[in-house]
Amino acid sequence: MNILESIHTNAELRSLTPGEIPALCSQIREELIEKVSGTGGHLASSLGAVEITVALHRVYDPYKDRILFDVGHQAYVHKMLTGRREKFDTLRQLGGISGFPRPDESAADPFIAGHASDSVSVAVGMARARTLLGEDYDVVAVVGDGSMTGGLCFEGLSDVGESGEAIVIILNDNGMSINKSVGGIARLLSRARTRPGYVKFKMAYRRVMQHLPGLHAWLHKLKEGLKKRLLPRGGIFDDLGFEYLGPVDGHDEAAMEEALRWARDRRAPVLIHAVTVKGKGYAPAEASPELYHGVDVFDPARGVKPCAAEDFSARFGSTVTSLAEKDQRVCAVTAAMERGTGLEQFAERFPERFFELGIVEEHAAAMCAGLARQGMRPVFAVYSTFLQRSYDILIEDIALTGEHVVLAVDRAGIVGRDGATHQGSFDLAYLSSVPGMKLYAPSSFAELGSMLSVALEEETGPVALRYPRGCEGRYREDRSREAASVLRTGEDLTIVCHGISVNDVLDAADELSGRGISVQVVKINRILPLDTRECLESLRITGRMISVEEACRTGSVGSQVLAAAAAAGLPLRRVRQLDLGDGVVPHGAPHQLRRVLGMDAAGIVRAAMEVMDEKDPA
Amino acid sequence: MNILESIHTNAELRSLTPGEIPALCSQIREELIEKVSGTGGHLASSLGAVEITVALHRVYDPYKDRILFDVGHQAYVHKMLTGRREKFDTLRQLGGISGFPRPDESAADPFIAGHASDSVSVAVGMARARTLLGEDYDVVAVVGDGSMTGGLCFEGLSDVGESGEAIVIILNDNGMSINKSVGGIARLLSRARTRPGYVKFKMAYRRVMQHLPGLHAWLHKLKEGLKKRLLPRGGIFDDLGFEYLGPVDGHDEAAMEEALRWARDRRAPVLIHAVTVKGKGYAPAEASPELYHGVDVFDPARGVKPCAAEDFSARFGSTVTSLAEKDQRVCAVTAAMERGTGLEQFAERFPERFFELGIVEEHAAAMCAGLARQGMRPVFAVYSTFLQRSYDILIEDIALTGEHVVLAVDRAGIVGRDGATHQGSFDLAYLSSVPGMKLYAPSSFAELGSMLSVALEEETGPVALRYPRGCEGRYREDRSREAASVLRTGEDLTIVCHGISVNDVLDAADELSGRGISVQVVKINRILPLDTRECLESLRITGRMISVEEACRTGSVGSQVLAAAAAAGLPLRRVRQLDLGDGVVPHGAPHQLRRVLGMDAAGIVRAAMEVMDEKDPA
């Protein structure tokens, strides 16, 4: 019998007998593997959170209580149990359900989640609102051990402890984040993991004390002494004001339920330390959890094959490794993205110059500043969306004294299926405001290689390269020596672009040429400082501009060219900016998103025809 | 005899006998009080760091070793002892010495420092560079307990422990940051402070062990058991991989020297927990350390008088308090800036809705998101420069789901004497890229009040107000109901401005009018979303624009108006943007900085005459 099929409401889930739960969990796992192998998505984290999530849904009301999942990719089971099971075929597809919690998708998703380490902060805000408004619901956050490396999480935990609010934090500790957890916090957790539990004793002790307040008071002083002997200390969590309960087997649903009920009834900050196995229940994922963290479509019987195709990340990795071969000062730094940024080869070849620091984008940037200040040449490889966390450090610790730190900004522009929380929409905007920042935009693997060499060997001060997720297209030249390149000459229309948008622009130019429209294509190779001469010269002739760029409108090259044109007294006839607008781009395949945004070749042709058709402004 | 007068080099400082040190420290304190009372500056922190700094300079070579001061305002003594004593009359004056460490000022300043909690990260980067390059110097960071509340510091400490690098961290614990330290970390430190020290025993024990490696090995297991009884545990610091040494009396220079020598020779991560008194040695500062954190010029015999003049911060504080009176959902949140942001009255009146969280700008913003999501109306009062830390949270946790969080962005624009690390240059740029952000720019107290009401009562989603340090000027109107206001009509030249720049602009317009130049003055009241109609209408007539704004060029209103003019096909004749350029503005009095930047009335008149004189572009 398929129990999962019979569950449609939270009440039905609660009415299951304890004996039915293991079978339910197995069925959830099977369905997870089946569905996610068909769509791609974050598999291993959700496999590791099955029992935790079932327990949460049996103890709490997911529609009334606020269950937060830090870095929401562990929330798939939560989604399945809150009315979205039938939609799992659409996971991360355009128009389908998101791979992360989203309040606009379900009332059971209390908050958006994508970037790590924020859930504890959000939880204490929610708990305080509850108290101030006199309302009655519970607040729970499920936080991975990787998220605990982030300083933001520490700030949040410190405040929860201080607040005294009834909040339950589940530390879902699988002993690794996306890469292996690193730093002192990992040591601290592993120490906690190996301590004997006394969990049941602690729960029983508390229960007795609750019913015998007199005894409680009398025992209080004695307890403080006894506690140290009898109750497991939670180390830092005790110090921060939590009641620590753990370690609990996070795959023993009954134990998790019991711990949760106990914690819920404490009406105080409680941390439940649940030990889990990432990828639990699917042998290939248990064996290689990193490989199954985020997967593309795969055959569950055969497992995931490491992707062979070279992409920008891989080319970055091989280039920085060969540059490090030549120059002993070159270091590579990553914040929990060794594999994602293509640094595995570097890590193997130069372990002493490779620094994987955990989910700590602020620290990583500041550490690079220290390395650079004392003569090393650090390259910080980081996704565009996560570098947002380092913004202040980029200004204060890197730009003001001109430290020669190279930022390898991966996943710039449209990222695709991870959706709004992960698109690389903003890097161009925020890097533009960092004093003295130089920004290159390679369009081909060859340009990535050359520009990285230039950034390390010829530039000084802060230098960034922004490059996309995925592979190069038809454009394979190397124009890295030009600030801007005229790829096509024409008199009717100027199209300005950078990065991989050049491929769609060239397709569009070909099509327009066939329609008798002569297009000047200007590819910007160095965005900061921006040299607008090629653009303005062309605009002097055409008077019409289309800009195509995978970046939000604010700070975009198109906007900068417009301002420069106005400052130069250059009158324009027609302008169209094709970009990521306010930067909020939903999930979907990149080619679909480009189509929807009108940034693919067809969209550019359409915009061009409109620009050519339109009358001059009055 | 004045010993301080006799010290000109580090060697001379080292050659003093221990008996001479207390007198030296007293003389340093006297001179600090005399000098800082004459210039204004950060007094109390440096008074508390006298013995620590003298000890550092006697144990380390400040020119070869790297001594980092977290939040550099505790570095005045370091500056006095490294060749800048004679320049203290110019402290924080235009062209004078900075109030923070600056590598361009002295080889003894290894790094710029201004924003809190970064020094540990920078230190570990420096130490790693030393190891990788095979060089020989020591790395020390002096970190206040306030800085320890910041998650960045936690990220750094965790990595130092993991690195095993020889780094000494001095925790300068005066039991308070700018406001009283808060959260679990404060409790943790206060627990450590009250534990018996065993410092001398620990140092002696280690020394013996070093010389008897055989005994050491034999005792190792025994030691682990013994250690718990005999040696003081450092709690979290032990867990993170540090050898913890403390608490040490931070005003006992000899004890500090001994601890430092011991720590230096350990060649491992060591944390020295020094307990100090903020404002030590100057009774008024010891009694009211917050009042003496940053001071204006004062009479040392009479002490600092709390400033009576109302400024924008005070008006914000009184307004938000009265709005909270009407609406029980209004909360105020601050990151260690209760006094600076004018929230003392609110804190007293509504303690349950007031949240002072420590130096945790990321957490504060995310906590606000949680409050807002569950029905409260949080106002996060924060300096422009420190809000840079929250950039990622503004996008991911506030903007993407449209949480109604109000940002009261104080110290926007020119801040003055704190200099480059603290100017409010960038908020306009980075807020512009946050999806859906609304941004108001009050120019008068009346506008601040009205706009704050609108932000709380009428707006939805994220809303920010940016307002300056200091007082209002001649402009005292309330135009808050208009997105942009035409304050003067004219046909020759359009001047666009916002915030307090309006005062200089009006002065300039009067002067220009006397010279027969008719100026249209457009004041932007709401910067985001920007309504450019008034500007474009005016530019259609004048064709000439000067923009005046206390913000960096990137994302500026001037640039946005230019882009809009170009997109509208509007040809401009002459344009001049008066702003903060790349955002790097040195220290000095605000009126001096405005003069230097050509943004005062005289500068605007000069720019206007040039714009009027210049020929149209070809």
pLDDT of residue A580: 98
Phi, psi for residue A335 in degrees, rounded to 5: -110, 80
Reference B543, options A132, A75, A567; nearest CA is A567
Which of the residues B109, B121, B228, B552 would you substitute to probe the A interface, choosing the one with the greatest number of A C-beta atoms within 10 Å? B121
Q: What is the mean pLDDT of residues A574-578?
A: 97
Name the fold adopted by B3-197+232-287.
Rossmann fold (3.40.50)
| A234 pLDDT above the threshold of 70 | no
Asked if the Cβ–Cβ distance from B435 to A152 is below 8 Å, we say no
Q: Which of A115, A183, A433 sits opposite B162 (nearest CB)?
A: A183
**Interface residue of A554, A561, A578, A582 to substitute, partner B, most B CBs within 10 Å:** A554
Helix, strand, coil content of chain A in percent (nearest 5): 45, 15, 40
Among B105-109, B226-230, B466-470, the range scoring the smallest mean pLDDT is B226-230
pLDDT at position A332 over 80:
yes
Subunit contact B126:A66, Cβ cutoff 8 A: no
Q: Is the pLDDT of residue B180 over 50?
A: no
- Which among A389, A417, A479, A594 is annotated as catalytic? A389
Query: What gap in Å lies between CA A39 and CA A295, rounded to an integer?
Result: 9
Pairwise pLDDT comparison (A105 vs A206), residue with the higher score: A105
Pick among A392, A422, A556 to test the B interface (most B CBs inside 10 A): A392
pLDDT of residue A180: 44
A462, A463, A469, A472 alpha-carbon torsion, rounded to 10°: 180
Instruction: Determine which of B27-36, B118-127, B191-200 has the lowest per-residue pLDDT on average.
Output: B191-200
pLDDT at B239: 78
Which of the listed CATH numbers 3.20.20.10, 3.10.400.10, 3.30.70.20, 3.40.50.920 matches domain A484-609?
3.40.50.920
pLDDT given for residue A1 in this prediction? 72
Per-residue pLDDT of A454-506, as tens digits, reads 999 999 999 999 999 999 999 999 999 999 999 999 999 999 999 999 999 99
pLDDT tens profile A388-406: 999 999 999 999 999 999 9
Closest to B272 in 3D by CA, of B393, B374, B152, B140: B140
Residue B562 with chain A: CB contacts under 8 Å:
562-564, 566-567
Fold classification of B484-611 (topology level) = Rossmann fold (3.40.50)
The pLDDT assigned to B388 comes to 98
Start-to-end Cα distance in chain A = 72
CB contact under 8 A, A401 and B353: no
pLDDT for res B177:
45
User: Taking the CA atoms of chain B, what radius of gyration do you get in angstroms?
Assistant: 27
Burial class (CB in 10 A: 0-12, 13-18, 19+), A213: exposed
pLDDT of residue B229: 44
| Residue A196 confidence (pLDDT) | 47
The dihedral over CA atoms of A103, A106, A107, A110, expressed in degrees to the nearest 10, equals -40
Return the residue of B nearest to A327 by Cα: B133
List CB contacts of A608: < 8 A, sequence separation 6 or more. A493, A495, A508, A512, A517, A519, A546
Which residue of the set A361, A403, A447, A549 is catalytic?
A: A361
Report how far residue B501's alpha carbon sits from residue B601's, in angstroms, rounded to the nearest whole number.
9
> Strand, coil or helix: what is A12?
helix
Whether residues B571 and A569 touch (CB distance < 8 A) is answered with yes
The predicted pLDDT at position B618 comes to: 44
Shortest CB distance from A236 goes to which of B239, B386, B396? B239
The beta-carbon neighbor of B366 closest among A122, A436, A616 is A122
pLDDT band at B591 (very low <50, low <70, confident <90, very high): very high
- Find the helix or strand (DSSP H, E) in which B410 lies: strand B406-410
Q: Answer whether residue B367 shows pLDDT above 50.
A: yes
pLDDT tens-digit readout, A519-566 = 999 999 999 999 999 999 999 999 999 999 999 999 999 999 999 999
CA distance A560 to chain B (A): 7
pLDDT category at B138 given cuts 50, 70, 90 is: very high
Check pLDDT > 70 for residue A214.
Answer: no
Taking the CA of residue B181 and the nearest CA in chain A, the distance in Å comes to 11
pLDDT score of A181: 45
The more confident residue out of A11 and A235 is A11
Backbone phi and psi for residue B245, each to the nearest 5 degrees, phi listed first: -130, 110
CB B428 within 8 A of CB B439: yes
Q: Which residue did the predictor score with more confidence, B198 or A178?
A: B198
* Axis-axis angle for helices A50-59, A21-39 (nearest 10): 120
Looking at the complex, report in whole angstroms how far the Cα of residue B47 sits from the nearest Cα belonging to chain A.
Answer: 25
The whole-number pLDDT of residue B197 equals 52
pLDDT on residue B107 = 97
φ and ψ at residue B506, rounded to 5 degrees = -65, -40
The arithmetic mean of pLDDT across residues A600-609, rounded, is: 98
Check B392 against A396: CB less than 8 A apart.
no
Average pLDDT, integer, range A175-197? 54
Would you call B400 and A421 a contact, using CB atoms and an 8 Å cutoff? yes
> How many angstroms away from the CA of A358 is the closest CA of chain B?
9
Mean pLDDT of chain B: 92
Does the active-site annotation cover B64? no
- Average pLDDT in chain A: 92
Q: How far is CA B173 from the centre of its chain?
A: 19
Cα B266–chain centre separation:
33
B121: enclosing H helix or E strand: helix B119-133
Reply yes or no on whether A278 is catalytic: yes
Asked if pLDDT for residue B163 goes beyond 90, the answer is: yes
* CATH code for the structural domain at A312-466: 3.40.50.970
The CATH H-level (homologous superfamily) assignment of domain A3-196+234-287 is Thiamin diphosphate (ThDP)-binding fold, Pyr/PP domains (3.40.50.970)
pLDDT, position A192? 59
Contact A376, A329 (CB under 8 A): yes
Most confidently predicted of A245-254, A441-450, B280-289 = A441-450
The pLDDT, as a whole number, for residue B118 is 97
Tell me the shortest Cα–Cα distance from A295 to chain B, in angstroms: 24
- Distance between CA A453 and CA A379 in Å, rounded? 11
Distance separating the N- and C-terminal Cα atoms of chain B: 72
More confident residue, B494 or A202: B494
CA–CA separation, B251 vs B261, rounded Å? 16
- The pLDDT score that the predictor gives to residue A176 is 57
Distance in angstroms (rounded) separating the CA atoms of residues B487 and B503 = 11
Q: In what order do the strands lie in the sheet with B330-334?
A: B354-356, B330-334, B377-383, B406-410, B463-466, B438-440, B526-528
pLDDT: which is higher, B192 or A68: A68
Band (pLDDT 50/70/90 cuts) for residue B615 is low
Q: What is the ipTM of this complex?
A: 0.94
Report whether pLDDT(B616) > 60: no
pLDDT tens track for B189-241: 665 655 545 566 667 666 666 666 565 555 555 544 444 444 445 667 887 88
Residue whose pair of structure tokens reads 């003496």 in the numeric block: B292
Average pLDDT over residues B12-36: 97
**pLDDT score recorded for residue A229:** 44
Q: Is the pLDDT of residue A374 over 70?
A: yes
> What residues of B are in contact with residue A563 (Cβ under 8 Å)?
559-560, 562-563, 566
User: Are the beta carbons of B403 and B375 closer than 8 angstroms?
Assistant: no
- The beta-carbon neighbor of A149 closest among B121, B158, B400 is B158
If you measure CA to CA, which chain A residue comes closest to B398?
A112
Contact at CB, B129 and A371, closer than 8 angstroms? yes
Name every chain A residue with its beta carbon within 8 A of the beta carbon of B378.
125
Which residues in chain A are closer than 8 Å to B372, comparing Cβ atoms? 125
Can you point out the beta strands (E) in B108-166? 139-144
Q: Determine the distance in angstroms separating the CA of B326 from the nearest CA of chain A, rounded to an integer.
A: 15
SS3 string, A291-309, reads: CCCCECCCECCCECCCCCC
When pLDDT is cut at 50, 70 and 90, the band that residue B427 belongs to is very high
Tell me the average pLDDT across B434-438.
98
Ranges of each domain in chain A: 3-196+234-287, 198-231, 312-466, 484-609
Percent of chain A with pLDDT over 70: 89
